[in-house]
Amino acid sequence: MRLVGLNRQVIPASQASISVLDHGLLYGMGLFETFRTYDGVPFLLDRHLKRLEESCSVLGIPYTQDDSTFRDWLQALLAANDLKDAYVRYTVTAGEGGLGLPSGMYEAPQELLLVKPLPVMPDEAYLKGRGLQLLHTPRNTPETPVRLKSLHYMNSIIAKKELQSYPEAVALQAEGCMLTVNQELAEGIVSNLFFIREGHLYTPDIGTGILPGITRTAVLELAQQLSIPVHEGRYGWEDLLEADEVFTTGSVQELMPITSLLAQGQKTALVGSGVMGPITGQLLQAYRQWTGNRQEGRGLRG
């Protein structure tokens, strides 16, 4: 990463700095969005910026973003790094606040924009899918009524360390499945979770404390357009074991089929026929048509 965005400028990464008194560093008071570009165009950017603005309001961070101004900044950063299709992380920190907990609104938030090449994901990876490892690390409860995409990421990092301790999960490039303290399905470490049974689509509801993912919402909208019955509720690991199809969602990897379920001390369970199922494929194809992804229609049989 040669060049980064800081406060709407493009500068060498070696010159970028944020104050040691920034409350994003001292107290985790900050938020971020991750998304990807398709042929240089960020997908569902308006939704990401709206969520970020609403979340900043909850934390007392004065933040508004003009869509056009942000697009220009992003395009400049992509061009400076010779990228078109990229992984993008946009962070807003609270800014300086001194030592001690704040008593009022913050005054000078800091904006950090980073880009990097997308991970290589061949069509075959979507056909074969990946594993899902049940974790002992529970998903923590959110600090606010609805989980924010905040800089408080220790819970996910601990979960990732646990995931890396399972050799089979590492071999299968598995995502980790986190449960609530009540042993209900929550979400993946960096993804939302869905399963399909008898033609119906199921996903944990927001009340479980999961992140209301942008891609999660997009999939729910697509399912309704495709007349796939949708259910948001409280489920357990056993529901995944009985499912016909399972997949995770995220802005970068889109819809990723889960074809095997792993739990410590238990035999690996195959999901469906062990490849991407037909409804997952239908939803993925519809999602890629929406994004304008040039790979649409390829690798969708299963």
Is 244:97 a contact under the CB 8 Å cutoff?
Answer: no
Give the residue from 227, 131, 143, 104 showing the smallest Cα distance to 188: 131
pLDDT per residue over 136-186, tens digit each? Answer: 999 999 999 999 999 999 999 999 999 999 999 999 899 999 999 999 999
Q: Is the pLDDT of residue 294 over 80?
A: no
Q: Which amino acid is residue 193, in one-letter code? A: L
Buried b (16+ CB within 10 A) or exposed e, 26-49: beebbbbbbbbbbeeebbbbeebb
Among 188, 172, 206, 170, CA closest to 134: 188
H-run or E-run covering 47: helix 45-59
Query: What is the average pLDDT value for the chain, to the nearest integer?
Result: 94
Closest CA to 139 of 77, 211, 81, 87: 211
Cα distances from 184 to residues 63, 156, 204, 210, in angstroms, run 35, 17, 8, 11
- Please answer whether residues 237 and 177 qualify as being in contact, where contact means their C-beta atoms are separated by less than 8 angstroms: yes
3-state class (DSSP) for residue 182: coil
Q: Is the backbone of residue 290 left (phi > 0), alpha (psi -120 to 50) or beta?
A: alpha
H/E element holding 294? none
Non-local (6+) Cβ contacts of 247 within 8 A are 129, 194, 195, 255, 256, 257, 258, 276, 280, 283
d(CA 275, CA 127): 6
Residue the block writes with tokens 């709206």: 50
Give start and end residues of each alpha helix (H) in 67-144: 67-80, 123-128
* Stretch among 56-60, 174-178, 297-301 having the lowest mean pLDDT: 297-301
> Can you tell me the distance from the alpha carbon of 178 to that of 237, in angstroms, rounded to the nearest whole number?
10
273, exposed or middle or buried, with CB in 10 Å at 0-12, 13-18, 19+? exposed
pLDDT digits (tens, 9 = 90+) for 200-225: 999 999 999 999 999 999 999 999 99
Does pTM surpass 0.95? Answer: no
Q: Say yes or no to pLDDT of 295 above 70.
A: no
- What pLDDT is attached to residue 104? 87
